[in-house]
Structure 1
């Protein structure tokens, strides 16, 4: 609980003439404005206060993942202190920790962070998004696509367990005998145990036929059920659900052999051709329909560029690393941003 005098202290910040000018400028939507002379904690406070005062989502472009790790918890804390955005609505879309052409997939934690953040953005529950400049330039799918990454299960509704488990498999969950860790699920007859990322505990969904009869949290150590719930949101662990359509598009991109026909024909061709995921396949996923960026997912957001000169330098350095990785790989021709 935040004490009243703490809220009063931060309310004085909102009365400062310089802050009022920035807020008035953003509300009028009259173009760019530069704010200088702030250290890192002051930047975090400004971000929290701006979101509260403008009531608009914010995209904060920073240099790299390390700056996100430093800034994210501070912004979340300030949001709580000033009575602004909910801390869990402050998210980050980190840059992948590996480069294209290295034949490596991103770390699972990075993929999970990106997937959850993109779902929150698409579902309209993200208030502040921190994104490194390299990630801000990456091609993304539509909001409708990312909105389908999660599943909401409600008590009393019908549930198709076959469809649900197929979806869980596609967004990174693992099927196990006993659920103990986030990202696991277990189906035993009419009981589905599942542990969603960011959840305090896993849940046990009991079915009566196809109807959700009860949803209860349980202790993964003792497997004993406890408090009931009316609904549960199963968050994704991957932003790129594995599908025959996606694998077919990647196959076309890499082999030059186009697959056409009905969904059944594409599925048969993918399976008969041995097309499957491979280390680093995530970097080819945009060929299946990515045409926008994070700015297209949040068209009404205020965009804050932290230290623009450093962002340009960081982007150039990151692209040089991509070029070096491509040269070492000796794979095809590299399409540069200018092209």
Structure 2
């Protein structure tokens, strides 16, 4: 049935004309079609062009609707890149689940593993970890290769992992003798790696509740725990502390000192100097990653980018900018963020 539907597309001159124009690198506008026909055409273009495709929608609701429409034409669901809320307020505990899903999808997109990626304007436009940083902070474990344990644990800590006695959730690792357990956001289950000296001897996934190994693995990918990792500052935690110290000094030299902001910066600085977790590290994203980057920077150069309802996207962009501006104004007045670090979209 599916093959018949795609065969019908090839008999439509409008479709074949658009396909040929895209092959030549031209921009194409397709208008006046229903939603189900839109999904049919998009799936057909993906099959024929054999290149990554990014579908940009105005919001999450439109993204979910498009994903549902595409199900009848694809072997696997097209993933939707989730948005996330920046943690700029003080908080005791913060869930990183949305960030981890984002990093996993962004990594796969950059690696060319995602045939069709759906994004909302919000998920596309929000500042994130630059692709070069994600690539450098990620690594693979392969059986038969050597990994000095001190270097390995240092990389895990810099990527935001916390050491514990028993791994139960993403972002944790445990080391017992020559056995290293890691729960990477790249995987649905944690991995147990057994070493003989520095050589990785065996490896397999295990159930975090029963701690029983259930599937062998030859190679696994380890990703950072979240999008804003202080340890990934170009000069490490020490470099971030230096930058915050300079920021405090500049604030104190002002004629009208913003005392609430100085208090916030000083408190955060003390956390970093004492290797304590700071859930509000998003405040310092511009210091940790001097290069501005969004999900758009992860889109492969050969990808076909589809703007689904361009006028709605323009409205979504304006609305998102206004909303972020109002939020940042409130935070600035409360002394919770520094004005020079507010470049988030």
- 5 Å-filtered alignment, 1:152-301, equals 152-197=140-185, 199-243=187-231, 245=235, 248-249=239-240, 251=244, 254-255=247-248, 278-282=278-282, 284-287=284-287, 288-297=289-298, 298-301=300-303
Contact 1:92 1:114 in 2 (8 A): no
Cα displacement (A) at 1:286: 3.3
When the two structures are aligned, how many residues end up with a matched partner? 314
**Which of 64, 78, 83 does residue 59 from structure 2 map onto?**
64
Match in the other structure for 2:311: 309
Could you list the runs of 5+ residues in structure 1 that have no partner in the other structure? 81-86, 259-268
Contact 1:97 1:107 in 2 (8 A): no
**Which of 8, 18, 33 does residue 14 from structure 2 map onto?**
18
1:106-136 C-alpha deviation (Å, 9 max, x unpaired) = 7512211221122123323233332222343
Cα displacement (A) at 1:206: 0.7
Using the size of structure 2 for normalisation, the TM-score is 0.75
Match in the other structure for 1:131: 119
Root-mean-square deviation (CA, aligned residues, Å) is 3.5
Name the CA shift for 1:162/1:255 in 2 (closer, same or farther; >3 Å): same
Partners of 2:148 and 2:67 lie apart in 1 by: 38
1:256-301 C-alpha deviation (Å, 9 max, x unpaired) = 659xxxxxxxxxx998866976444325313432234444433332
Cα displacement (A) at 1:210: 0.3
Name the CA shift for 1:170/1:275 in 2 (closer, same or farther; >3 Å): closer
**Which of 5, 30, 49 does residue 26 from structure 2 map onto?**
30
Partners of 2:6 and 2:150 lie apart in 1 by: 51
Contact 1:123 1:147 in 2 (8 A): no
Partners of 2:71 and 2:162 lie apart in 1 by: 31
Name the CA shift for 1:44/1:149 in 2 (closer, same or farther; >3 Å): farther
Partners of 1:67 and 1:186 lie apart in 2 by: 41
User: Tell me, what secondary structure is at the counterpart of 2:82?
Assistant: coil
Cα displacement (A) at 1:325: 1.7
Say whether residues 1:109 and 2:121 are aligned partners.
no
Could you list the runs of 5+ residues in structure 2 that have no partner in the other structure? 252-268
